[in-house]
Every structure is written in C-alpha cells, then in structure tokens.
Chains A and B, each alone.
Chain A
Amino acid sequence: MIPGREVQSVALAAIALLAAGALPYYGSDYLLSLGITIAMFTVLSTSWALFSGPTHYISLATAAFFGLGTYTTGLGFESLPFWSLICLAGVLGAALAALVGLATLRLSGVYFVIFTLGLAELIRQVITWGQNMTGQKGLYVLTDFSEADLFQMLVALAALVFLAGWLIGRSRLGFALRIVGEDETVAAHSGINTAQVKVLLFMVSGAVAAMTGAILAPRYVYIEPSLAFTPLLSFQVVIMALLGGVHRLWGPTVGVIPFTLILEAISASFPNQVTLFIGIVFLIIVYLLPRGFAGLLEQLRDWSGKREALS
C-alpha cells in the first residue's frame, strides 16, 4: 500500500518534471541554457545523494564518471546510435563504480574521499597521456542535437533518477543502506552484507553520472580531459547536494536551483570570484545549514505546527 501523501508527492514531481520538460516550448534560449545546467546538476546531485546521503561517504568521483560518459559519446558517436552510447556509458560507469567500490568501500570515510578525488585525476591523466601518444588534444563531438533535445533527455534522465530513488527508498536495499549509514556494525550483525549494499548503490550513482556525461558531450562540441574530468564538477555536485539536503530525495534539487542561478549571476559579473562563492556556500552549510534547505524547511514546518497547536 502506498500512502496518500506519497501519491501526492509523486503526482507533484510528475507535474514539475513535465513543466520542466516543456521549457523549450515557452522559454528563451538563455533560459534553456540555464535549464540544461540545472537539469544536469539535479541529476548529478540527486544520484550522488542516493549513495552518499545515507552512507555519509563523500564521493569526489563524479567527474570521473561524468568524464567517462562524455568520452564514451566522443569516441562512439560516429559509429553507434546515440541512445546506445547513453546505455553503454551507464554500463561503463557502473563497472567503474564497482571496481572503485570493491577497492575502497571497506576503508573508512576519509580514505574513500581522497581515493575518489585521486581516481578522477588518474583517469584524466591516463586519457591525456593516451591522447598525447596519438597526437590529439581533444575530440570533436558534432551531432545534430539541439539544446532542446539535450535538455529533454536530461529531464527524462532526472525522471528516471527520481523514480529509481523513490523505489530504492521504499525497498529493502534502501532500508539496508540507511542502517549501514547509521551503524555499520549493527548492520552486519543484523544480516546485511554491507559491502554489497554500498557497492550496489555506488554503481547506480556512477552509472547515472556517466549517462549525464554521455548526454552532455554534444553540448560541449569539443571535449578534452581537463574539461570532461574537471574536479570542480565533483565539488559542485557535493556542495549543491549538501546545500539542498541529502536526507530527502527532493533535497538536492532545492540546492541546485538557487546555487546555479546565483553562480550564473556571479560568473557573469565577477568571473574571478566563483571559487570564493563556492567556499562561502560551503561555510554556510557547515555552520548554518547542516541538513540543508530541506532540513530548514522541515524545521520551519515543525515550528509553525507547534505554534498552531499552542494557539
């Protein structure tokens, strides 16, 4: 049985996604371009939070998966249909996540963070080296896709991620992951194969990031390792997810939208202060918003509920 409140949330999410998906029909080119960035970070942050939210394992590998996806498209768009490249990127992302997971998830949090950051750099260096050997610097990705096409694909992917997140949240797997995040020892002694649960969710997260990269490759037209594997992307995803709140499926989205809009305004007027802005947001999260906007909203709701009860 699905409770009424959840039906309401699902219906609301469906309407929001449909409205977003129709943006190309009513929005300007500028709005569409902004929409692509928002859709991209919504997908990346939400899928990041599926794994890192409950487990508290901060992954900085998003750029590695994303870059893997862009290169999948970059190398294959001339010989394979685009949809198959998106699927292939998902499979490759999941496989990479499985490898990383098996190697690192037995380690405690801090080592995991450093490893994932290092991984993205490692792959970037390997591809740079590979390209140097072949005398190339980057890849041209010339396709017929318009911005509207890419945007709608991203919105569809976002719908898939929300659906997956909702289903996982209701499943034994999701419950197991929450227990693992709360106390791994208790989880193991309750019969949960903790490594397997973590690797599975990390694979979902990695697959989605790689698919996002595959969809976005045509937008960049020309891709090179420093762009596809930029560590800034990994940090942005973490900060947006934390800003929104990782304990709710919709949390990251409410972080992504204001962050992207403000970042956009700052990079237009003060292009050199972008990293300063990211740093300030990070401090705000740590000191003022430990549970993100989602936590703040819930706090306000509880507070107003109590006031009503008193009056």
Chain B
Amino acid sequence: MSQTVLSLQGATKRFGGLVAVNGIDFDVRQGQVLGLIGPNGSGKSTVLNLISGALGLTAGEISLRGAVISGQRADKIARRGIARTFQLVRLLPGMNVEQNIIAGAVFGHRRRWGASARQEAIRLAKRVGLDGKGPMAVGQLTYIDTKRVELARALASDPKLLLLDEWLAGLNPTELQVGIALIQSLREEGRTIVLVEHVMDAIRSLCDRCVVMSSGDKIAEGTPDAVLSDPEVIRAYLGDADA
C-alpha cells in the first residue's frame, strides 16, 4: 500500500463560539486525489487553510509524511512541501507571468534560482497551457489563464502535496473540460492532491476518494459514486424532502 502523505486527526477549528471544523479525520496517500466536498459554509476551505497553515488548529493534529506540521507557520509548511492555490485567484500584479511562476520556485520545497528557476518557469508555463505567455502582464490574462498561472506557481516548488481551492470554479463549459483534463494529467503524473470542488463532473472524474463535510462535520467518506449516492450526503446538499 502506498505511503500516507497527509493525515488529519481530530482537526478542529473554532472561531469564538462557531465550530467551523469539528474533529475531522482523514488520510491522503501518495498519488491519490482526494475531493473535499460539501455545501457552502461547511468548512472545506477552512480545512484547506488549516492544512496550509493559513489558520492555526484549535485542537487535533495534522501531519505530512508522518511529521507533525500543525502549529507551524505557513511559510514553513510551504517549505516542507505543501503548495496551494486560492479560492479567489491571487497573482502578483506587478510581475509578469514568468515572474509569478518563478515566485513559487525560489523559496518553497524545492528551491531554484537564476537560470534554473527560469527554465522551470518556462517548462511549467508550457505544462499548464501558457506557452509563450511568459512575458505577459498578468492583468491581460483571461480568467482561466490566471488560474493556470496560479497552478504553475504552486507546481513550481515540486510539492509533495498540492491543495486546489475550487480551481475549476467560474470556468465556462469549454474551459471546464480543459481544466478537468489539466488536473487529470497532474493525477496521471502521480501528484498527490486535495481539492475543494463543487463541480460534480470534476469530482466524479478526478477524485479517488471524497470526504463530505456539512456544518463542520465529516458526514461521509468513500469513492465519489458511493458518497454521492449516500442519502445523508444528498440531504446535506438538498435539504430534507418536504413531507
């Protein structure tokens, strides 16, 4: 059986009286794509923020390849090998596409500098479908291209674990097919990924396993087909049927 990359044990986050994430457990193994799904406000993005160190845990533990990472600063976690994208795309507006990608290559898990960082940025730009757009200002990019830059920046550190926060949200149907194919190709490369997603087609075609959250609790875990037909999951998404 492949190695456990990420492990959450009793991960809990409270904001004052609100329990945003309530004692969540799950593991992600090498090369797996885990989908984190659930209705809006169920705590998915908070879980991603806990893993990447943007937020600190109230209780519980998160470990990366057996080493505890919870309680560490975001930059330290990034250097240990977790890279992420953001729900609302965050690019560096004063830098061009290439520099945006290089930003991910210099300080993270695998560090490069100078010509080697540049070569890697050019290779990744091509990899995500931005071939030849390196010198462009990020303000001139289409929406999907801004998402591509962010993905390339996250890949630039060659992370052990990639976190994608609604990477496919907001794409039109054609772009969505392109986007799904791109993430599919990362999966085939053997990347370990945790993705928060609402697009059901993507979840079915990309995820090996899903964790379903509702109001901060984990309500189901299993293969996409199994969890999406689970009555409790349907109830969480659609509410109780009127009697």
A associates with B:
yes
- The verdict on B26 contacting chain A, using a C-beta distance below 8 Å, is no
**Which positions 60-108 of chain B face chain A at CB distance < 8 Å?**
73-76, 78-79, 83-84, 86, 90-95, 102-104, 106-108
Within 8 Å by CB of B109, from A172, A182, A191, lies A191
Instruction: Please state if B108 and A191 are interface contacts (CB–CB under 8 Å).
Output: yes
B92 touches A194 (CB 8 A): no
| Residues of chain A with a CB closer than 8 A to B106's CB | 172, 175-176, 190-191
- Expressed in whole angstroms, the Cα–Cα distance for A82 and B117 within the complex equals 45
Which of B103, B104, B113, B157 has the largest count of A CB atoms less than 10 A from its CB? B103
A182 touches B92 (CB 8 A): yes
How many chain B residues touch the partner (CB < 8 A)?
A: 28
Interface SS, A side: helix
In the complex the two chains form, what is the Cα distance from A9 to B106 in whole Å?
26
Contacts of A189 in B (CB 8 A): 52-54, 74-75, 78, 83-84
Mark interface residues in A164-182 (1 if CB within 8 Å of B CB, else 0): 0000000010011011001
- Contacts A175-B106, A176-B107 hold; do A192 and B75 have CB atoms under 8 A apart? yes
- B153 adjacent to chain A (CB < 8 Å): yes
A6 at the B interface (CB under 8 A):
no
Which residues of the other chain, A, contact B83 by a CB distance below 8 angstroms?
189-190
Inter-subunit contact B113/A190 (CB<8 Å): no
Q: How far is the CB of A203 from chain B (nearest CB, A)?
A: 19
In the complex, which of the residues A178, A186, A191 contacts B90, with contact meaning CB atoms closer than 8 Å? A186
Q: With A182-B95, A183-B90, A186-B92 known to touch, is A192 a contact of B107 (CB < 8 Å)?
A: yes
A55 to B227, CA, bound (A): 47
Contact (Cβ within 8 A) A185 B75: no
Residues of B within 8 A of A187 (CB): 75, 103
Give Cα A168 to B76, complex, Å: 23
Q: Which A residues lie within 8 Å of B73 (CB)?
A: 188, 193
Residues in A whose Cβ lies below 8 Å from that of B93: 182
B51 to chain A, nearest CB (A): 11
How many pairs, one residue from A and one from B, have CB atoms within 8 Å of each other in the complex?
69
Among B74, B102, B153, point to the contact of A188 (Cβ < 8 A).
Answer: B74
Residues B157 and A179 in contact, CB atoms below 8 Å apart = no
- Assembled-state Cα–Cα distance A51/B231 (Å): 57
Q: B7-39: which residues lie under 8 A (CB-CB) from chain A? A: none
Which residue of B has the minimal Cβ distance to A186?
B90
Q: How far is the CA of A287 from the CA of B95 in the complex (A)?
A: 24
Cβ distance A231 to chain B, nearest Cβ, rounded Å: 31
B161 to chain A, nearest CB (A): 13
Contacts of B113 in A (CB 8 A): 172
- Residues of A close to B84: CB separation below 8 A: 189
The reply to whether B75 and A193 form a contact with Cβ atoms under 8 Å apart is yes
CA of A189 to CA of B103, assembled, Å: 10
Q: Which residues of B contact A186 (CB under 8 A)?
A: 86, 90-92, 103, 153
Interface residues of B in 124-164 (CB under 8 A from A): 153, 157
A191: chain B residues within 8 A (beta carbon): 75, 78-79, 106-109, 157
Interfacial chain A residues near B76, Cβ < 8 Å: 193
Say yes or no: B90 contacts A185, CB within 8 Å: yes
Answer whether A188 and B95 are a contact pair too, CB < 8 Å, given A172-B107, A172-B113, A179-B103. no
Task: Determine how close the nearest CB of chain B comes to the CB of A43; give it in whole angstroms.
Answer: 26
Contact B75 A188 (CB under 8 A): yes
CB-CB < 8 A to B153: which residues of A? 186, 190
Please give the residue numbers on chain A whose beta carbons come within 8 Å of chain B beta carbons, in ascending order: 172, 175-176, 178-179, 182-183, 185-194
What are 6 of the A-B contact pairs (CB < 8 Å)?
A182-B95, A183-B92, A185-B90, A186-B103, A190-B103, A191-B109
| 6 further interface pairs, Cβ-Cβ under 8 Å (given A188-B73, A191-B106) | A175-B106, A183-B91, A189-B54, A189-B78, A190-B78, A194-B75
Binding site for A on B (CB under 8 A): 52-54, 73-76, 78-79, 83-84, 86, 90-95, 102-104, 106-109, 113, 153, 157
- The 6 A-B pairs of least Cβ separation, nearest first, read A191-B107, A191-B78, A191-B108, A182-B92, A188-B74, A191-B79
